[in-house]
Amino acid sequence: MDRAAARRGPPVDGRAALKDGALAGGVALALTLPLVGLRTVEVQSRLAIEFHLAEVAVTGLLVFLGRLGLSLAAGGLPGPVLAAALAAAAAGWLLPFPTETLRVLALAGAAVVAARALWALHNGRDRLSRQDRDRRMDRLGARLQDASRLLGPAAAAMAVALPFLPFADRAVLDLGILLLTYIMLGWGLNIVVGLAGLLDLGYVAFYAVGAYSYALLAQTFGFSFWLCLPLAGLLASCAGLVLGFPVLRLRGDYFAIVTLGFGEIVRIILLNWADVTGGPNGIAGIPRPSFFGIADFTAAPEPGRLAFHQLFGLDYTPLHRIIFLYYLILGLALLVNLFTLRIRRLPLGRAWEALREDDIACTALGINRTTIKLAAFAIAAMFGGIAGSFFATRQGFISPESFSFIESALILAIVVLGGMGSQMGVVIAALLVIGLPEVFRDLAQYRMLTFGAGMVLIMLWRPRGLLAHREPTILLHPRKSASRRQAEAAEGR
Amino acid sequence: MDYFLQQLINGVTLGAIYGLVAIGYTMVYGIIGMINFAHGEIYMIGAFIAVISFLALGMLGITWVPLAVVMVLLLTMLFTAVYGWTVERLAYRPLRGSFRLAPLISAIGMSIFLQNYVQLVQGARVKPLPPVMSDVIVLLERGDGFRVSVSELQLLILALTVVLMIAFTRLIARTPLGRAQRACEQDMKMASLLGIDVDRTISLTFVMGAALAGVAGVMVTMYYGVIDFYIGFLAGIKAFTAAVLGGIGSLPGAMLGGLLIGLIEAFWSAYFSVEYKDVAVFGILVLVLIFRPTGLLGRPELEKV
């Protein structure tokens, strides 16, 4: 039997597809009936029910049609399905929907079905096997990794030039600072998750330790930012050692849950130890950084002190401090990046990667698991702490609210979605996860919803992350490009 | 002593609720070796469906308390079971046999999704429910007026938990489904060679776990009277701690662990500080995992390459 026919699978079975669609639609009805259809609202301080049954019915119908379309497209009827999906999309524009969310869902669903049908038409087969798909994405990842040798410096140069570009106003710079903070955190966590393969769900604890260290040291002892920055890193790294030591014997999922527990413990302590941390009110009035201790960023400096604009003979604008903060975080982030890139070539970095691939084999080779795990934990914690003290000085105000589990999940998502261990992946994922929602501020309420759904979808589609491509660290012929090697490996398979 | 007795009663009630949620964790971990991070959200959804069902039944005029409670329980179990099935089907089944951290990350995404879905459709505000059963039986009364009492609701929670536990243990021990589950737990490939539909068995495991979490959701709604979309996170971690404490994969272990966690929480709040009760629970999780990773009733797990 020739392979194309085999790939095409059995001829379309209309009844099975209908049954399948009806099942999916029925499940969708059951899922949405209580929570979407019957909404609890408070009327005169008593709960009452508001009915939204139309939304439930439309959801059920949409899921039914979508599921039916997908099975028929995969079952050998891509042409008609494509036409129907496009018609449905057109109808979606025009027909009245109970809510705009449902309209968006309908349009997106029609687009997905249409894309699937188009794909089937174009390739003459119903579906890509997981292996095919992985190979394609691996090739893309490899190509990007090749390109990142040029792309990385180019992006860094862009980032350096950004404050002097004409469109760089306060909002752009603030967004840039936010993005860079998350990129730095992502790169820091990447050491633990991407290199050593330990799933840390409590990274935000170290971020918090860094932020509170700076705030408390600066307010209690009057230490300057430049003294506090390494101190905060040191304290966070000590916290990493203390927390890391007991949990290092644990593996995989257990490790993840315990780190989550530690993250929560730190948050609860910050929340309740009101004498020191200010409890839920947090700490306000955290000192701003000076220009390397030489000059301050103020319009009118205190007597005996110099202001930044006086030092350089510029006119005063509040933007100076923002630009300075921007360069500060850019430098810190690039430092982390440089560290990671270099340490991968050292024995410690190699040991981490060995640990990630197979920890039992790694022990068998005589590597001390405990020491290298501890090192990964402490180093990542240090970078987290430094990022935390930057956060504190930028905000001028911190409270336990900024260090909840969801923050850990965001940072983890940046690492995982980008492709574990990929430095470029972190940047791209940070742009997606932090940048996109900032641009679509109006849809803020949907932000976490789409974020959760996106996390699931990307895992289903690419369990190792979007740009996961694991490059061997040692090569016989190091000159060969990664994409060539990938292609050869694919042929050899 | 009287104070102690009262805390004991409160702690056991709380423990019953945690135990029911913990069963879902322990069964799923036993059968496919993953932490179903979204399980706490199923419990939260159960609590919401309980509030909605009580209101809907009130609108339909069903106000006789026993009937209303039974119907709410059944409805909640039905709907949470559908949620459990869907979560497994969409987020976990396609990842079976994949990279080992992938299902956990997918589960975290699912948990965030469900939390925000409920927040979006039902609102972020706390939902109060007027007490359904409020009769209290006074057991002891001290001279200074301190009473040791147990409410009818607490008795109902305990009785229901015991009944469900017995039914469940029998289901696992005696029925073909339970046998299939135990077979999959031991060796999934061999079980499928012997004609067991592994996918179906795993789905049913999720369905049962979710239904029990739904029952716990009903209980917590009636017990505390207020719920919000965020309750699943903490309760989920505590129930997971309970499952680990009792020995993950073991049903009696989950119940015992739930009971212990409930007691620890009640006594810690009563004698030390309410603020740090969650720290106590997390501390126990860490200590158990370090000193006795197999839990109280668990079997040792072998490291395999």
Q: What is the spatial distance between Cα B240 and Cα B24, in angstroms, rounded to a whole number?
A: 9
Structure tokens at B257: 């662990």
Strands A397-398 and A283-284: antiparallel
What average pLDDT does chain B have?
Answer: 87
Q: What is the spatial distance between Cα B58 and Cα A314, in angstroms, rounded to a whole number?
A: 72
Mind listing the pLDDT tens digit for each residue in A401-412?
A: 889 888 888 898
- Cα–Cα–Cα angle for B213, B214, B220, nearest 5°? 90
B:136-195 residues touching chain A, CB 8 A cutoff: none
HSE, CB side, 13 Å, CA atoms: give it for residue A345.
5
Which of A138, A257, A464 is the best residue to mutate to test the B interface, defined by the most B CB atoms within 10 Å of its own CB?
Answer: A257
Cβ pairs bridging A and B (under 8 Å): 174
CA-nearest residue to B122 within chain A is A39
Second-level CATH architecture of A134-484: Orthogonal Bundle (1.10)
Task: Write out the H or E segment, with its range, that includes residue B70.
Answer: helix B65-87
User: Does residue A128 register a pLDDT over 70?
Assistant: no
CA-nearest residue to A447 within chain B is B116
Torsion of CA B108, B113, B118, B124, to 10 degrees: 80
Residue A351 in contact with residue A205, Cβ under 8 Å?
no
HSE, CB side, 13 Å, CA atoms: give it for residue A43.
7
pLDDT of residue B84: 94
Q: What is the mean pLDDT of residues A28-55?
A: 84
DSSP three-state, residue A477: coil
Q: Name chain B contacts of A453, Cβ cutoff 8 Å.
A: 109, 113
Strands B147-151 and A306-307: unpaired
Which of A23, A27, A32, A40 is the best residue to mutate to test the B interface, defined by the most B CB atoms within 10 Å of its own CB?
Answer: A40
Which of A52, A55, A199, A460 is the best residue to mutate to test the B interface, defined by the most B CB atoms within 10 Å of its own CB?
Answer: A460
> Is the CB of B99 less than 8 angstroms away from the CB of A253?
no
Q: What is the mean pLDDT of residues B282-288?
A: 83
Share of chain B above pLDDT 90, in %: 39
List residues bridging with A46 in a β-sheet.
A43
Mind listing the pLDDT tens digit for each residue in B229-266?
A: 889 988 988 898 898 888 888 888 899 999 999 999 99
> Is the CB of B45 less than 8 angstroms away from the CB of A199?
no
| Nearest-by-Cβ selection for A268 from B75, B78, B278 | B278
Query: What residues contact residue B136 under an 8 Å CB cut-off, 6+ apart?
Result: B149, B150, B151, B152
Q: What is the mean pLDDT of residues A62-78?
A: 81
Instruction: Tell me how far apart the terminal alpha carbons of chain A are, to the nearest angstrom.
Output: 22
pTM: 0.86
HSE, CB side, 13 Å, CA atoms: give it for residue A291.
19
Q: What is the mean pLDDT of residues A471-489?
A: 60
Distance from CA of A412 to the nearest CA of B (A): 9
Q: What is the spatial distance between Cα B270 and Cα A319, in angstroms, rounded to a whole number?
A: 53
Residue A290 CA, chain-centre distance (Å), reads 31
User: Does residue A441 register a pLDDT over 60?
Assistant: yes
List residues bridging with A41 in a β-sheet.
A48
Q: What is the spatial distance between Cα B83 and Cα B49, in angstroms, rounded to a whole number?
A: 11
pLDDT of residue A112: 84
Stretch(es) of chain A classified as CATH 1.10.3470? 134-484
pLDDT of residue B305: 42
Distance from CA of A151 to the nearest CA of B (A): 28
pLDDT of residue B304: 46
Q: Name chain A contacts of B95, Cβ cutoff 8 Å.
A: 459-460, 463
Banded pLDDT at A479 (limits 50, 70, 90): low
Q: Name chain A contacts of B75, Cβ cutoff 8 Å.
A: 34
Largest CA distance in chain A: 90
pLDDT of residue A458: 84
B:239-258 residues touching chain A, CB 8 A cutoff: 240-241, 244
Residue B21 in contact with residue B214, Cβ under 8 Å?
no
CA-nearest residue to B281 within chain A is A261
DSSP three-state, residue B147: strand
Residue A385 in contact with residue A232, Cβ under 8 Å?
yes
Distance from CA of A33 to the nearest CA of B (A): 9
| Nearest-by-Cβ selection for B55 from A31, A40, A459 | A40
Residue A307 in contact with residue A295, Cβ under 8 Å?
yes
B:46-105 residues touching chain A, CB 8 A cutoff: 48-49, 51-53, 55-56, 59, 75, 78-79, 82-83, 85-86, 90-91, 94-95, 98-105
DSSP for A271-288? HH-HHHH-GGG-EE-PPP
User: Does residue A325 register a pLDDT over 80?
Assistant: yes
> Is the CB of A452 less than 8 angstroms away from the CB of B114?
yes
pLDDT of residue A127: 55
pLDDT of residue A480: 54
Range of lowest pLDDT (A281-285, B5-9, B300-304): B300-304
DSSP three-state, residue A345: coil
Residue B10 in contact with residue B277, Cβ under 8 Å?
no
User: Does residue A399 register a pLDDT over 70?
Assistant: yes
Q: What is the spatial distance between Cα B38 and Cα B8, in angstroms, rounded to a whole number?
A: 30
Strands A306-307 and A295-296: parallel
HSE, CB side, 13 Å, CA atoms: give it for residue A364.
5
* Burial call B256-280: b when 16+ CB within 10 Å, e when fewer: bbbbbbbbbbbbbbbeeeeebbbbb
> Is the CB of B112 less than 8 angstroms away from the CB of A246?
no
DSSP three-state, residue A41: strand
Mind listing the pLDDT tens digit for each residue in A153-172?
A: 888 888 888 888 877 788 88
Mind listing the pLDDT tens digit for each residue in B160-206?
A: 999 999 998 899 889 999 999 989 888 888 998 998 999 999 999 99
Distance from CA of A102 to the nearest CA of B (A): 13
Q: What is the mean pLDDT of residues A220-235?
A: 88
How many residues in chain B?
305
Distance from CA of A32 to the nearest CA of B (A): 10
Q: Name chain A contacts of B128, Cβ cutoff 8 Å.
A: 47
HSE, CB side, 13 Å, CA atoms: give it for residue A60.
17
Mind listing the pLDDT tens digit for each residue in B56-107?
A: 988 888 878 889 899 999 999 999 999 999 999 999 998 887 777 788 889 9
Q: Single out the residue of B275, B232, B282, B279 nearest to residue A280, CA to CA.
A: B275
User: Does residue A194 register a pLDDT over 80?
Assistant: yes
Q: What is the spatial distance between Cα A318 and Cα B85, in angstroms, rounded to a whole number?
A: 55
Q: What is the spatial distance between Cα B38 and Cα B235, in angstroms, rounded to a whole number?
A: 11
User: Does residue A2 register a pLDDT over 50?
Assistant: no
Q: What is the spatial distance between Cα A119 and Cα A342, in angstroms, rounded to a whole number?
A: 42
DSSP three-state, residue B305: coil
- Cα–Cα–Cα angle for B244, B249, B255, nearest 5°? 65
Q: What is the identity of the amino acid at B149?
A: S
The 8-class DSSP code of residue A248 comes to: T
> Is the CB of B55 less than 8 angstroms away from the CB of A445?
no
Residue B25 in contact with residue B239, Cβ under 8 Å?
yes
Q: Single out the residue of B156, B181, B228 nearest to residue B27, CA to CA.
A: B181
User: Does residue A4 register a pLDDT over 60?
Assistant: no
CA-nearest residue to A248 within chain B is B290
pLDDT of residue A91: 80
Give phi and psi for B157, each to the nearest 5. Answer: -60, -45
Structure tokens at B125: 């505000």
Structure tokens at A285: 């009035």
B126–chain A Cβ distance below 8 A for any pair: no
The 8-class DSSP code of residue B88 comes to: I
DSSP three-state, residue B276: coil
> Is the CB of A261 less than 8 angstroms away from the CB of B286?
yes
Residue A454 in contact with residue A113, Cβ under 8 Å?
no
